[in-house]
Chains A and B, each alone.
Chain A
Amino acid sequence: MIDTWERDVPVYDVPIWTRPFAVLCGLSVVALGLVTYRELAGLGPASGMNDAYAWGIWKTFNTMVLTGLGSGAFSIGIAAWLFKRSRLHVVMRTALLTSFLAYFSGLMLLGVDVGRPWNFYWVFTPWRWNLHSPLLEVAVCMPAYAMIPLLLENVPPVLDWVHAHRPQYRPVVETAERIMVRFYPFIVGLAYLLPAMHQSSLGALMLLGGDRVHPLWQTPWLPLLYVWAAGFMGFSCVAGTILFCSLAWKRPIDLDVLTEMNRITAGLIGSWLAFRVADLLFSGKLGLAFAFNIFAGLFWVEVIFLGVAILMLLDSAKKRDARLMFHGHLVAAVGGMLYRFDPTTLAFQPRAGAFYFPTPVELLISVGFVSIAIAAFMYVVKVLPILPAPTGLWYRMEKEHKWTQDREVGASFVAAD
């Protein structure tokens, strides 16, 4: 079999109930239980947040960092649709699913994090909007993105499933597809405009933090650096996820597509690093990076992670080593996550003596909401055609009666099309 990804194929030969899946479900249930406690007791008893560190990991990690990882649909989509890297279309479904789940989980947790979520309905009343607030931008754009373009772009795999498994609804599927095809460019356009806006506004959030954010991170370019970081984090998340799934479930790996992804990721990281250092240099703050303190240390950890990631990504592409590629994307993702986390928490100094560390309840809820996203991903890729594979794998799946339950139906549907 030639390992060229041509088509998305369900992971049909692995059972849904596996031990990791059960553990993730368990963590999710625990988190949902603890959310009840948080809602009744309030944020103080449940979390380590306080008036100095008013934002905890639910916002800073689960939303501000993890939606960066969930920007695959944004950055890979731009490469595929705007820069015509047509080979990347085959990984788009994985990108769309990871993005939707990352956003969904983050947004749900935001609902837990805010104190008066019932007032969020004002988001539907534009005359209430404070257009100058970066947070308003995030609050409007992020749910709009997740619930309109991202959700719609995730519909085609479901339609595929209905078409194959519920033949009686095929006319409905076909109508739905005709409508989608008609409006697709407009939906896809939104899918790049909205994330470009809110991923940059996530950076702009910290601008109002002013002096609380250490000068190594506080810069007027924070919005640009945030959205750019989302660019390579999205690539790394999707490439890393596909590599991990392919290695774990022994599916064919298309090293050409991955090499292309590696090169783009490395380019994005390289230009990002250059921009970040140049900004520090021209604003005269580069000296702070050579101070002997924790902030300079954090800065160098980010730089080293991302620098090493570039080397690993390029080297693994040259050696065509899938395992090394995975590790490269992992290191890149961690580097990007650190950058997006630091100005919100580790390099955020509200005042002398202020302290924040998440409580066990807070951590369990945070982990649980990530688990919900991962468990959903594991379930969906086993049911729907999401992960890329050679067309041969699709034929084999059909032969093993795994996609269309009824072989007759399957045969007729191939012929009818």
Chain B
Amino acid sequence: MALTRRDALIRLTAGTAGAVATGAASTAVLSHSAQAEERPAPPINAVAMLYDNTKCVGCQTCVAACADANKLGPNRKVDALYRTNRDLNWTTKNIIKLYKPADGKSYSYVKQQCMHCIDPACVAGCMFKGLRKDVKTGVVTWNAKVCVGCRYCEIACPYHIPKFQWEGFNPNIVKCEFCKERLAQGLQPACTSVCPTHAVIFGSREEMLAEAKRRIQESPGKYYQDRVYGEREGGGTQVLYLSKVPFANLGLPELPDESVPEKYLKWQKRVYSYLAVPAVLYASVVGVIRNTWKQHQEEMAEEEKQTGLRPQL
């Protein structure tokens, strides 16, 4: 069918109108949602841990206490010895590692567990809120009733914390949940409650931050860059670190102040806020298709007349 001037004009007008409408609506929504965005703050009653590796003697009491409190069995497949895993895994929510440089420079232990980020990447990625951040305590918890086991949290976490149970037909996502049952009973987490040297201590995030800064002030130069890791890194965490060696050597990456979701999902959030952009897009698309559809039906009728065959949609 030849394109008449009238058709072309109608099409052009419809197309332009659609594009303008889409553009205007998207700009409105995007700028609105951009205003609404602000950096997430820690909850008012945020709990926290402070780990100071100048005090840690690497006794691993916290590792055993964690396994007991969380009823984590031994994983003899990983290591022949009881609970001496090399890394966090689905039977280990908390681990002490040793950083020992080959050149004989200062060595250090490091405790690894979930950092309980203020704006967690795992929570941002989780489809059905299987991982969520408690609004009161800020603890990032896992819910077996909704987790689909997609393992996106493992892809997203900048600290490589969530672990998947690679065995059996009913696998879990395993990570430190700040001993949420103990917290509910008014107890400390298992690891902080047993540490003989108080290398890891428990308190509110404000207290822990103040304590860390006090220690830095007391002995300037003792700690790497006189910096509390977790105050701002990756949007801030609820597990804070003081270290005598560079944080990167301990497996704590140098992250910008922006959290991972803030940095990478900015546009995703804007485009999908209120589903306004998709809705406008759909309306414009249907508008154009209804026009094409009329032409297509005419073409089909024409073909039916010529061939005597049933038209094919």
Contact = CB atoms under 8 A, between A and B. Distances in A.
Given A116-B149, A208-B260, A132 B290 contact: no
A116 B149 CA distance: 5
Interface stretch (B95-103, B151-159, B223-231, B236-244): B151-159
A8 B108 CA distance: 71
Contact of A193 (B147, B150, B282, B303): B282
A82 B285 contact: yes
A283 to B, nearest CB: 14
B38 to A, nearest CB: 15
B170 A204 contact: no
Contact of A128 (B128, B171, B264, B266): B128
A208 B309 contact: no
A49 B285 CA distance: 41
B157 to A, nearest CB: 9
A394 B129 CA distance: 54
Contacts of B269: 132
Contact of B272 (A6, A51, A137): A137
B121 interface: yes
A39 interface: yes
B273 to A, nearest CB: 8
A207 B264 contact: yes
A306 to B, nearest CB: 25
A125 B163 CA distance: 26
Given A114-B148, A132-B268, A82 B282 contact: no
A269 B264 CA distance: 26
Given A193-B285, A394-B309, A122 B155 contact: no
A6 B303 contact: yes
A251 interface: no
Given A134-B268, A207-B264, A51 B160 contact: yes
A163 B312 CA distance: 12
B127 interface: yes
Interface in A97-152: 113-117, 119-120, 122-123, 125, 128-137, 139
A39 B170 CA distance: 9
B313 interface: yes
B253 A211 contact: yes
Interface string B163-193: 1111111110000000000000000000000
A40 B281 contact: no
A49 B260 CA distance: 24
B4 interface: no
Contact of B129 (A128, A188, A196, A207): A128
Interface string A41-82: 111110001111011000000000000000000000000011
A114 B149 contact: yes
Interface stretch (A179-187, A254-262, A313-321): A179-187
B304 interface: yes
B142 to A, nearest CB: 11
B71 interface: no
B145 A204 contact: no
Contacts of B44: none
Given A39-B169, A122-B146, A115 B309 contact: no
A185 B272 contact: no
Contacts of A42: 165-169, 171
Nearest to A398: B309
B128 A188 contact: no
A210 B263 contact: yes
Interface string A193-218: 10011000100110111111000000
Contacts of A93: 312
B125 interface: yes
**Chain A: interface residue count, which band?**
35 or more
Contacts of B158: 210-211
Given A133-B126, A156-B312, A115 B151 contact: yes
B292 interface: yes
**Chain B: interface residue count, which band?**
35 or more
Contacts, number: 209
A119 B148 contact: yes
A139 B310 contact: no
A34 interface: no
Given A116-B147, A116-B149, A137-B272, A207 B265 contact: yes
A137 B267 CA distance: 14
Contacts of B297: 181
Contact of B290 (A45, A131, A185, A208): A185
A130 B166 contact: no
Nearest to B129: A130
A131 B272 contact: yes
B171 to A, nearest CB: 4
B148 A116 contact: yes
B89 to A, nearest CB: 7
B152 A135 contact: yes
Given A135-B125, A136-B127, A139-B127, A43 B164 contact: yes
Given A135-B125, A208-B265, A220-B267, A193 B281 contact: yes
Contacts of A181: 297, 313
B12 interface: no
A134 to B, nearest CB: 6
Nearest to B272: A131
11 contacts: A51-B160, A54-B151, A86-B299, A114-B149, A115-B150, A115-B171, A135-B126, A189-B286, A209-B156, A210-B264, A394-B307
Interface of B: 1, 11, 87-89, 121, 123-130, 144-152, 154-156, 158, 160, 163-171, 253, 260-261, 263-269, 272, 278, 281-282, 285-286, 288-290, 292-293, 295-297, 299, 303-304, 307-310, 312-313
User: Nearest 9 A-B pairs (CB), nearest first?
Assistant: A115-B149, A44-B166, A54-B154, A116-B149, A189-B286, A54-B151, A208-B156, A207-B264, A115-B171
Given A114-B150, A114-B151, 10 more contacts: A42-B169, A44-B166, A54-B155, A86-B296, A116-B147, A125-B128, A135-B127, A135-B152, A185-B293, A351-B160
